[in-house]
Amino acid sequence: MTRTLKPLILNTGALALTLILIYTGISAHDKLTWLMEVTPVIIVVPLLLATAKRYPLTPLLYTLIFFHAIILMVGGQYTYAKVPIGFEVQEWLGLSRNPYDKLGHFFQGLVPALVAREILVRGMYVRGRKMVAFLVCCVALAISAMYELIEWWAALAMGQGADDFLGTQGDQWDTQSDMFCALLGALTTVIFLARFHCRQLRRF
C-alpha cells in the first residue's frame, strides 16, 4: 500500500462512517441510547485521523475498527435487542434472544486485543509470543469489564430508561456471557490473526 493510497483509503473510510453515523442518528429508535452507543465512534475516528501520519496502524486493524464502528452504530440505531438481522439469526438458530449484542461484544474483545498487540509488538515492550497473547487477552477483558461497569452505572443513573442501552433481554447471565464473547474475540486475535498481523507489522 503506497503512502498516497493509504491516506485516501482512511479518509474514504472516515467519510463512509460519518455518513452512516448521520443516517443512524436520524433514524435512531432512541436518540439517547444511540448517542451512548456511538460515543466510542465519535471519539476514536477523529483520533485515528489525527494520529494516522505519526502513529499509523496496520491495514488489518483499521479494517476491523471500521467494521466494529458499523456494528456499534447499527446497534445504536435500533438498540441491540431490536436489530433486524439479529432477529433473523435468532430464528435460524432457534435462540431465545436477539444475539446481535454478542457480535458487538465479540468485536469488543477482538479489536482492543489487536490494538494492544500492535502497541506491545511494535513498541517491543514485551518479548515472547505467549506473554503477548496473555497480556492482550487481559487488556480485552479489562475493557470488557469496564464497559459492564459503565452499563451498571447507567442503570443506576437512568433506572428503567437504561433498558435499551443495557440490552440484557431478561438474561440474568448477560454480563458474564458478554465478557465471554469478548474473550472469544481476543482469542480469535491471538490464535487466528497473530501471524498475519505480524506480517503487516513488518510491512507497515
- Whole-number Å distance between alpha carbons of 51 and 49: 6
If one counts every other C-beta atom within 10 angstroms of the C-beta of residue 161, the result is: 13
DSSP-assigned states of every residue in 143-185: HHHHHHHHHHHHHHHHGGGGHHHH--TT-TTHHHHHHHHHHHH
Total number of domains constituting the chain: 1
On the CB side of 42, how many CA atoms lie within 13 Å of its CA?
11
The pLDDT assigned to 153 comes to 85
Could you tell me what percentage of the chain is helix, strand and coil, using 3-state DSSP and rounding each to the nearest 5? 80, 0, 20
Question: Are 186 and 113 in contact, with CB atoms under 8 Å apart?
Answer: yes
pLDDT band for position 138 (cuts 50, 70, 90): very high
The x, y and z cell numbers of residue 8, run together, are 485516501
Range of the domain at 56: 5-203
- Whole-number Å distance between alpha carbons of 197 and 121: 10
pLDDT band for position 54 (cuts 50, 70, 90): very high
The pLDDT assigned to 27 comes to 97
Q: What is the pLDDT of residues 78-98, one digit of tens each?
A: 999 999 999 999 999 999 999
Residues 6+ apart with CB under 8 A from 164: 29, 30, 33, 79, 81
The x, y and z cell numbers of residue 103, run together, are 457480535
Q: What is the pLDDT of residues 2-52, one digit of tens each?
A: 555 578 899 999 999 999 999 999 999 999 889 999 999 999 999 999 999
Q: What is the pLDDT of residues 169-178, one digit of tens each?
A: 667 788 899 9
